[in-house]
Amino acid sequence: MTDERKIRVLVAKPGLDGHDRGAKVIASSFRDAGFEVIYTGLHQTPEMIVNAAIQEDVDVVAMSILSGAHMTLFPRVKDLLREAGADHILLTGGGIIPEDDAKALEEQGIGKLFGPGTPTSAAVAYIKEWFETQGERV
């Protein structure tokens, strides 16, 4: 009998955006899918997000950004993860992100980004697939 390690996901709300309904919905969907979920709450800085990701030993950081600051916040968190030696953590997320911006962010190493109306099952499937292809960390 083998115990599969649960995927650990940090759901984060960076910046001044005060709308967290979507983040709470996706956090609940991740829990329902069997993930261990940590939710940061509102108004997190990139530094706070990365510190929490490292302290909680997560596999994934999923950021919800509705403020329009995605072109700044995603790269900043990615850089801080790299600087902390934690670039093995998948950085993904969603929000109001134009398709061209999502493509530009993905080219910078950010994971798939999900927009409004995307079924939560798509984000769950993406993370499961990523986790399976990356294998468990030692």
Query: Which tokens go with 19?
Result: 């709308």
Residues 4-44: tens digit of each pLDDT? 789 999 999 998 888 899 999 999 999 999 999 999 999 99
Q: What pLDDT is stored for residue 135 in this prediction?
A: 60
Structure pTM?
Answer: 0.94
For the domain made up of 8-134, the CATH class stated in words is alpha beta
Nearest Cα to Cα of residue 95 among 11, 39, 33? 11
pLDDT for 3 equals 58
Q: Which tens digits make up the pLDDT trace of 37-82?
A: 999 999 999 999 999 999 999 999 999 999 999 999 999 999 999 9
Closest to 136 (Cα-Cα) out of 1, 6, 2: 6
Tens digits of residue pLDDT in 94-123: 999 999 999 999 999 999 999 999 999 999
What does the block give as tokens for 128?
């499961």
Domain boundaries, the chain: 8-134
